[in-house]
Amino acid sequence: MSQTDTAYRTGEYVQQEGDYICEAGRRTALKEGDKFPYCPVTGLDTNWYYAV
């Protein structure tokens, strides 16, 4: 699994459609214009990383 180094925070807008991985390791498909959600595992704010 490869990730970019750029982190996106819960509540920020998605700039590029694709799969993102939260700090807990859960992969989620997001579309451009969506807001990054809370962590699907913990329910808390998290960092998201673009999965390439």
Instruction: Give the global pTM.
Output: 0.87
pLDDT for 4 equals 58
pLDDT for 47 equals 98
33 near 49, Cβ under 8 Å? no
Q: How confident is the model at residue 1 (pLDDT cuts 50, 70, 90)?
A: very low
pLDDT digits (tens, 9 = 90+) for 2-52: 445 799 999 999 999 999 999 999 999 999 999 999 999 999 999 999 998
Residue 7 three-state SS: strand
pLDDT for 5 equals 77
Indicate the Cα dihedral angle 29, 21, 40, 47, nearest 10°: -120
